[in-house]
Amino acid sequence: MKYASLLLSSLLYLPVSQAAVDEDGFVRIKPDEVAFQDYREGMVISYITGHPEQEGFYLLRIRFSPGTFSTPHYHSTDRHVTVIKGTWYTGTGPDFDKDNTVPLPTGSFMLHPAGKIHYDGAMDEEVIVEIKGIGPVISTNL
């Protein structure tokens, strides 16, 4: 029963038509079934499971259009990021400087420690990152 309620809460942010749930509760989502929605200018987001504003584990994907960067910001809890498409450019500290970022190619990982200021984005290609963490999390832009 515990797992059924966890599964149900995990699916709250998935369009039902996109999530294939079998009789044992396994969820399968193929790449072309990932439903993105507008997030910020030049970025779309998909809540794969859970939600960062709620209690518990969440996993989301953000797709950056070429030339799109976030502004310096931080999160109240650790976030674990994997680059799943493209080269993602990451910077740290309160002063945005696109020319002083570290490129992370597909397959790279980055930990965003709680409370540490960072910014990130895409240069000349589309980038998709997968972000995992435990909610609730508060994100603060500078």
Q: What is the pLDDT of residue 61?
A: 97
pLDDT digits (tens, 9 = 90+) for 83-139: 999 999 999 999 999 999 999 999 999 999 999 999 999 999 999 999 999 999 999
At residue 2, does pLDDT exceed 60?
no
Q: What is the DSSP string of 37-58?
A: EEEETTEEEEEEES-TTSSEEE
- 122, part of any domain: yes
Phi, psi of 85 (to 5 degrees): -155, 135
Instruction: Over range 38-43, report the average pLDDT.
Output: 95
Q: Evaluate whether 98 touches 68 at the Cβ level (below 8 Å).
A: no
Residue 56 has pLDDT above 50, yes or no: yes
Helix, coil or strand: residue 121: strand
Q: Count the helices and strands in the chain (H runs, E runs).
A: 1, 13
Sign of CA dihedral 92, 96, 102, 104: positive
The per-residue pLDDT for 11 is 44
pLDDT in the model for residue 62:
98
Whichever domain contains 65, its CATH number is 2.60.120.10
pLDDT for the residue numbered 18:
56
* Predicted local distance difference test score (pLDDT) of residue 9: 44
In a domain, 37, yes or no: yes
* Whole-number average pLDDT of the chain: 89
Structural domain of 114: 32-141
Tell me how many domains the chain contains.
1
